[in-house]
Structure 1
Amino acid sequence: MQQLATLVTILLLALNTVLLPIIVNAQRLSTAEKADSLKAVTVHGRKPPIEVKADRTIVNVEGSTNSVGQNALDLLRKSPGITVDKDDNISFSGKTGIKIYIDGRQVPLNGTDLADYLKTLQSSDIESIELIANPSARYDAAGNAGIINIRLRKNKAFGDNGSLTGGYYIGTHSNYNGGLALNHRDAHLNWFGNYNYNNTTNTTHMDLYRIQLDTLFDQHSNITPTLSSHTFKTGLDYFLNKNNTLGVMVDGSLTNFSIPTSSNTHIYYLPDGTTDNRQPNRILEADNSAHGYRNNGNLDLNYHHIDSLGHELTMDGDYGIYRIHSDQFQPNLYFTPDGGSLMYSDIFDMLAPTDIDIYTFKTDYDQNFKKGKLDLGLKTSYVTSSNDFRQYDVVATTKLQDTLNSSNFLYKENINAVYANYSRPFKGWAIQAGLRVENTNAKGTSNGYREGITGYQTYDSVFNRHYTDFFPSGAITYNKNPAQQWTLTYSRRIDRPAYQDLNPFEFKLDEYTYRKGNTTLRPQYTNSVGLSYVYKTKLVATLNYSHVKDVFTQLVDTIDRSKAFLIKENLATQDITSLNISYPWQLGRYSIFANVNAYYSLFNANFGAGRTVDLHVFAVNAFVQQSFRIGKDWMADLSGFYTSPAIWQGTFKTHALGNLDAGISKSVLQKKGSVKLSVSDVFYTLHWTAVSDFAGQYLRATGHTESRQLKLYFTYKFGNAQVKAARTRKTGAEEESKRVGAQGGGGLNN
């Protein structure tokens, strides 16, 4: 309640000090516009929920009622071809190497931190989501599954305007958020800024049934994370003249989290392999608690030049800081089989601060050339990541540092890239070809203590990597018949390991489950070829084949007979063949969009000692969204998705999954405001199940979250509704950002 009172106070102060003058000014502008009404006509229209183009699919969020109260991760979960697994890992058409961008700028997080950041972005701030399967050489070569670009809402002409948003939604817990956006633009400058606050609590129920050699673990957990986040962005574009613009932008987020976990595990001894009428020989109770923060800030300085001859130059210099800290208290209490007496306990306290700094500079130059367009560019980046992990054994009220399970990992990386891309239209044809070259220099240093011949000894483990790669891309389009268009594309891409996945240190999830990094983890490379067909700009069919070498996967491997550890490894290969078909249809006030993505995926690897992976699956993802215009100011939406059995992380076979959402909205206050009401997961069907059988270990995981929620949203726009948008900045810190703060893609007990 104190946080809510603080938010209300901030909004009231904003109303008195900022908004009221803007509203008064907007009223004057409105009067002037009425006097000049013969010179300008404003047309109000609603974009279709989904637009499909030859190179991308666009999900228009702003006008969808079913986006009410959703966050960015929720929206991705039900976007065409996208799958989000139980650990919030995102895949696109069966491939997991997707890169997330915000307004053309890559998000500087991965794994759990990426998922938590996406949960802070509310649908009221999102205009559209672009799904780009095969990016050109202009983009960083990272991302074997392509790019997801989330475009935030912007304004559209000269003058002042802004918006206020507020939302409340409830499942088991109450959640709320609110935001303020302001924009000013005249002939000389454009200032823009926004602030959003979000408070979210959501319980996840998860059951893990694991058999390893002669021991069975039957675990039941409730995880209730609470996120409290403040996100902000402000920037200024100064127009030197009609050809040149200077800009500066600052953005960031401040997030505090608390993750209490209540876990109960019955442990059975099974020397004969039978489970009938078996009683546990002990019960493990672990009421874990983790809290901390994830803060980041970014500064972007930019310059843009364009002239009437077709020359365009952009330059960006960026500096980003990321500070991530977690403090996990983990009591492991072992009770007798009847649960009445405490046998013994192991209690740990783990501190994990992470500091990451990113420096980038990039420039892009475009010009008309040989009846086409030539793009040239270069980029350099330097990243430092420091991870200091400390584990303490708690005895009574005393904490003793476990030096054997504590270490410091420092990672430095420099990537230099140049690219050239050429495109040209012909009569009935169009071509595009490009080449990107990236040189990578990386050094990782891990130090701590380990057991030696003469006792505990310090160690300093160092690895260095230097490599240069070439990444060609190309496309040929045949459009002689305007009603039918064929496009053939090819690209080669890379995914470098996330910084934290290289850290060899072991992180304890519980007494029997560890997570650790892998210094031998190599980049994965993907070659993709696709053929797409577009009929009358509506029916779109795309056939794509990808071969991934050294594909990343998170394995649950075995250690010390009954214990297990999670580690990222390079699988030998992954082959994916996919077919995606989509079609929009409209009849009067009713419209529908349907998308079906079918793919065949094959994972194959042999790690020796009977540790093999040989899994294949034919999977289907289906998505349908329907919209109904009811009367003049009412709109209703009904949407749902279905995912057939598939494979997660190379070793987990999953069961089918699906849900249905419904919502209704109404325009109010002379169309300046809107009220939206929706229910997510109406039939409460988002319950997942996954099974793994690897390295002599059988694991079945089941669970669900507070996916069924009632959501209420209100939005009010004030000032001139036609203020031109602030320039969309594509800053330099792109490829680096995705890999910040990775935690191995999430764990079984996260």
Structure 2
Amino acid sequence: MKTYWIFLLLIITSLNLKAQNNNQNNTGKIAGKVIDAVTKVAVDYATIGIYKQGSTSPFNGASTDPKGNFKIDNIPAGEYTLKVDFLGYKQLAVEHLVISATAKNLSVGSLSLSPVQNELKGVTVTANAPTVENKIDKLVYSPGNDLTAQGGVAIDVLKKVPMVTVDIDGNVELMGNANIRFLINGKPSSIFGASLTDALQAIPASQIKSIEVITSPGAKYDAAGTGGIINIILKDSKVQGINGSVNLSAGTRLENGSFNLSARKGNFGVNAFFSGNEQLNSTAISTNNRTSYNGARDTVTSLSQKGSNAFKRSGYQSGISFNWSISPKDELTTSINFNHFGNNGHGITNQDQNTLAALTGQNIDTLSLSNSGSRFSANSKDWSLAYKKTFAKEGQELNILYNASYGSNVNDYTLRQDYLAPVVPSTGSTSNNPGKDKETDISVDYSQPIAKDFNIETGAKTVIENLNNSIVSQTLNNGAYIPNPFQTYGFTYKRTIFAYYVSASFSLFNFVDGKAGLRYEHTSSTSDFPNTIIPSYGIFAPSFVLTHKLSKTQSIKFSYSYRLERPEYRDLNPFYNISDPHNISTGNPNLKPELGHNFELGYNKSFDKGANVYVAAFYRYNTNDIQSFTTFYPSITIGDSTYNNVSLDQRYNIGRENNMGINLYGSLPVTGKLSLRSNMFFADRVTTNPGSPSVSGFMYRINLNGNYQFADDFAAEFFVNYRSSQKTIQGSRPAFAFYNLAVRKQFMNKKASIGLTAANPFSQYVNLQSSTFGSNFNQSSSRLVPFRSFGISLSYKFGKLEFKKDKERDDNSPPMPQDNAGQ
């Protein structure tokens, strides 16, 4: 691991030397603002090009921000022409701009663009947004040109995102940490509360506009999630007119579809969508071998399990949102979403348990056949109301957000174990576990510019969570299932969080841009579970990010954030899952929050030919680290039932965890038709548990994405991903690899497309090997997970876009805001 840090140190040292040389250059900047010549409204995202006087090719440029402002730095001394372009407007040119030693900083003031007078009957816009954008406080991945994810779901898109790792079962990690705060359009959603994996499998890739990765969230964001935040931005439209899209896909393993419709007239807009998917029935094959010992280690028990499990998953989402520009300075947005997803499975397992007593020589061999079933279903509803107020002073604004999420879910299992020996009666159990959760968020955020390069933000937020579930269990007795009062109970949990923050964004000496802030969160929790007292606690969470632009093509960033991970409901729920009586799992209502310090150092470099490199080194350490721990029991009593030869899996606060590593991302246009992207992640995790030796686990993840453009409307893509195994405190996590292929053909002026996809076409299964051990047991497991699939996808876009500004808004009014991402 030292090699990576030495490598990074050499990069930083060379960059600092270059930065010193750059500072000695006689360079300047040109700044200004672009407005509509008729309405005086700011024109956002207009293209600014800087040309050497008399040249026809630009050598530098930028885009205007949402306020119409632009600034282009590091312009050498000389005479230049500035050109402004935007669709629907005439090009504007400002000539003979001179940068010299005595005139380094030029302001061209407000530049007025004149709209094209003739009405356009039809417009085809072709623009390739960058797949990965590295911003001051986040990384943005846009899957618009992601061919191998077409027809897939959110999990398939996340596999491509830098710094994100997804395993075969859909578990997500951000820079090696699974404690991630997931948001949709910047807001929490109860869709993630019951089962994160199922929720991510229920969102079609065609519905995703972009994914934001925030490894060091600022004070405006909730402090929850030691790993950071992943914000999934769904598609919408905020332009005049009516438009939409239809996406359909069918395959051997997955089918999904989505429909989007957007309409806007004047100051009122509507967005609606519906999407659904189904993972078709597939069967995984598993083996599990465990050797265990009694306390005196004079009796050894061997358990061999071989079986298969048929599994299927389905879900849908729908929603509608309304936006009303009440006045040029007042915006009101409301939305409501409905979500449903679930899964069910049925497994058959052959079991052979052999017990050998060394002292007596007794050898008992027990053969049995286990039939198990499981069903999970979740429904949720999200409702939000957002108000935004802007003021005469640019950058001054007030945001108020009310967000409510309601969820209900049911988790059932059935089990019957029949023994081949006729004298041994069959055993079994059933359980029905319905639950409900409700979360209400109220936040107020205010931004106030103090000076040109100094802005202050402050705000407060209240989160109220109520969760409850009831467990009804039955036990097989003499061939019939009868109620088991010892495993029938209810569990209620309530949590209230109050937060306040203040932060500032600033620029110092035209050398460093930064954001810094402090957030305070107070948490109080109550539970009616016996012998469980959850103390209240408060934390101060500081954060900052500093960036320095070494040149117009490269920058360096350093950030720090203090985060916590509150135990989730599924971690706290004391429900015992006995669908496999030899491998039981349960929650732990006594869990404490995990606390984490995150440091990150990043470097970004862009090249003239379009290549890009981003290097991020990180160090993170957590206390009260929440991890799963398996304990073996020769026998364990749950309620009035006793189970033999049991591995009990439960979450605990285990000591301290240190993570350090490096992430390397690069994109390279090899030719005009072939482009490559790669993401490499290397990390070492050290877990220290008092009274036990430290455990170090090194892992790496490497992927490669290639795209070949045969023609303007025909492209192909491949994606290869490998993740190594990793040592844990009780064994190892499995390594795995997969590969995807895809082609897409566009037609009807790119309004429609057809795509073909293939995942692992030459291998039916992905083989996962893992191990677990403790003081009195050793266990090895193998799973053959079906992964090969073939699919076809269809997409069609319709409608007319009208590129014109709202005449009722003045030049201080920003464009319609996105959903607040600071929640």
Q: Same fold (TM over 0.5)?
A: yes
Matched, 1:717 2:797: yes
Deviation of the 1:212 alpha carbon: 1.9
Change (3 A) 1:256 1:548: closer
Distance 2:730 2:820 in 1: 37
Distance 1:350 1:394 in 2: 12
Aligned positions, number: 673
Matched, 1:255 2:348: no
Deviation of the 1:507 alpha carbon: 2.7
Does structure 1 retain, via aligned residues, the 8 Å contact 2:336–2:382? yes
Matched, 1:424 2:500: no
Quote the residue 2:486 is aligned against: 404
Q: Aligned partner of 1:596: which letter? A: M
Equivalent of residue 234 in structure 1, options 306, 313, 320? 320
Distance 1:57 1:318 in 2: 25
For residue 787 of structure 2, give the secondary structure of its aligned residue in structure 1: coil
**Could you list the per-position Cα deviations for residues 93-121 of structure 1 after superposition, in whole angstroms to 9, with x for gaps in the alignment?**
22121122222123435587111111111
Q: Aligned partner of 1:252: which letter? A: F
For residue 118 of structure 1, give the secondary structure of its aligned residue in structure 2: helix
Distance 1:315 1:619 in 2: 43
Deviation of the 1:316 alpha carbon: 1.1
Report matched runs for 1:188-587 at 5 Å: 188-201=267-280, 202-213=282-293, 214-271=300-357, 281-309=365-393, 310-336=395-421, 343-370=424-451, 371-395=453-477, 398-426=480-508, 427-446=510-529, 460-536=530-606, 538-561=612-635, 562-586=645-669, 587=671
Distance 1:159 1:279 in 2: 79
Distance 2:426 2:560 in 1: 57
Which range moved further: 483-492 or 520-529?
483-492
Deviation of the 1:701 alpha carbon: 2.1
Deviation of the 1:40 alpha carbon: 9.6
Deviation of the 1:557 alpha carbon: 1.1
For residue 201 of structure 2, give the secondary structure of its aligned residue in structure 1: helix
Does structure 2 retain, via aligned residues, the 8 Å contact 1:54–1:534? no
5+ long unaligned stretches in structure 2: 1-114, 294-299, 636-644, 805-814
Matched, 1:103 2:185: yes
Quote the residue 1:728 is aligned against: 818
Distance 1:640 1:393 in 2: 47
Matched, 1:631 2:711: yes
Deviation of the 1:721 alpha carbon: 4.7
Report matched runs for 1:28-43 at 5 Å: 36=118, 43=125
**Could you list the per-position Cα deviations for residues 502-531 of structure 1 after superposition, in whole angstroms to 9, with x for gaps in the alignment?**
233433132222212222211100101111
Distance 2:340 2:325 in 1: 31
Does structure 1 retain, via aligned residues, the 8 Å contact 2:356–2:363? no
Deviation of the 1:637 alpha carbon: 0.6
Q: How large is the Cα RMSD of the aligned pairs?
A: 2.7
**Could you list the per-position Cα deviations for residues 256-295 of structure 1 after superposition, in whole angstroms to 9, with x for gaps in the alignment?**
432222222222224459xxxx998122322212224200
Deviation of the 1:431 alpha carbon: 2.2
Report matched runs for 1:105-184 at 5 Å: 105-108=187-190, 113-171=195-253, 175-184=254-263
Deviation of the 1:495 alpha carbon: 0.2
Distance 1:163 1:383 in 2: 36
Distance 1:48 1:266 in 2: 56
Distance 1:218 1:726 in 2: 61
Distance 1:206 1:567 in 2: 22
User: Identical aligned pairs, as a percentage?
Assistant: 22
Report matched runs for 1:669-748 at 5 Å: 669-684=748-763, 686-721=766-801, 728-730=818-820
Deviation of the 1:42 alpha carbon: 5.2
Change (3 A) 1:78 1:523: same
Quote the residue 1:653 is aligned against: 732
Deviation of the 1:170 alpha carbon: 0.5
Change (3 A) 1:279 1:168: farther
Distance 1:91 1:272 in 2: 45
Quote the residue 1:643 is aligned against: 723
Quote the residue 2:60 is aligned against: none
Q: Aligned partner of 1:676: which letter? A: G
Change (3 A) 1:101 1:652: farther
Does structure 1 retain, via aligned residues, the 8 Å contact 2:185–2:821? no
Change (3 A) 1:728 1:465: same
Deviation of the 1:645 alpha carbon: 2.1
Q: Aligned partner of 1:599: which letter? A: A
Change (3 A) 1:234 1:415: same
Q: Aligned partner of 1:500: which letter? A: R
Change (3 A) 1:383 1:731: farther
Deviation of the 1:125 alpha carbon: 1.0
Change (3 A) 1:56 1:207: farther
Distance 1:676 1:479 in 2: 41
Distance 1:76 1:696 in 2: 39
Matched, 1:70 2:152: yes
1 or 2 for the larger relative contact order (CA 8 Å, sep ≥6)?
Answer: 1
Does structure 1 retain, via aligned residues, the 8 Å contact 2:532–2:589? no
**Could you list the per-position Cα deviations for residues 155-203 of structure 1 after superposition, in whole angstroms to 9, with x for gaps in the alignment?**
35201111111110104xxx42222211111112111111112222243
TM-score (structure 2 length as normaliser): 0.77
For residue 534 of structure 2, give the secondary structure of its aligned residue in structure 1: strand
Distance 1:419 1:193 in 2: 34
Does structure 1 retain, via aligned residues, the 8 Å contact 2:198–2:341? no
**Could you list the per-position Cα deviations for residues 288-338 of structure 1 after superposition, in whole angstroms to 9, with x for gaps in the alignment?**
1222420000111111112341211111112211100122211122224xx
5+ long unaligned stretches in structure 1: 1-32, 447-459, 735-750
TM-score (structure 1 length as normaliser): 0.85
Q: Aligned partner of 1:473: which letter? A: S
Does structure 2 retain, via aligned residues, the 8 Å contact 1:417–1:438? yes
Which range moved further: 682-691 or 230-239?
682-691
Instruction: Specify the structure having the higher radius of gyration (Cα).
Output: 2
Which range moved further: 559-568 or 384-393?
559-568
Quote the residue 1:27 is aligned against: none
Distance 1:717 1:122 in 2: 16
Change (3 A) 1:629 1:592: same
Change (3 A) 1:220 1:342: farther
Quote the residue 2:171 is aligned against: 89
Deviation of the 1:683 alpha carbon: 4.1
Equivalent of residue 684 in structure 2, options 583, 594, 600? 600
